[in-house]
Amino acid sequence: MPFLIAIAGIIVTAYIWANRASRARDVVGDVADMANDVRLAARRFGFRRQTNIHPVESIEDPRLAIAAIATSFIELDDLPTTELRGRLTVQLRSKLRADADEAQEMEVLGRWFMTECGGAEPAIARISRKLYKLGGAEQMEPLMEVLKGTVHDSLSDRQRDALEDIKRAMRVR
């Protein structure tokens, strides 16, 4: 009888380890897919990373900068919900005249820019300055339309502070 229990224990242990290995393989595949998504999105927008230059300084499309700021903005209030992400996608599509794939790729690149800046707050400050360089204070209107349409009137303290940072960077009073 103890022999049968030992064999059953070995079989259960092998089964558990096989499941863990397959889950690890799935996680590695997911990470590779995310990296590929960023690469493909960057290619679609003609983004080229230059040596010794921060990725934000390579942004040439104001729409991409607006999407990056909006993506960072919703990250300021904990993790954004699926509903909030959906509203952001709708706003990017309607206000920036992007199709579904383009809006999704803007969000992917925006999230990547945010991580390259070291978080949501530094990303908003840096990308806002870049947006001002790209289009001046005229870019404030489409940015605010996207932000207002996404978060409505429910702003956290960090988001209010970020709006002040955006106004300062865009030289709007």
Chain mean pLDDT for the chain = 84
Q: What pLDDT is recorded for position 5? A: 84
Q: How many CB atoms lie within 10 A of CB 76?
A: 21
Of the two residues 24 and 87, the one the predictor is more confident about is 87
The amino acid at residue 75 is E
Q: What pLDDT is recorded for position 49? A: 63
Q: What pLDDT is recorded for position 156? A: 87
Mean pLDDT of 139-153: 90
Secondary structure class of 129 (helix, strand, coil)? helix
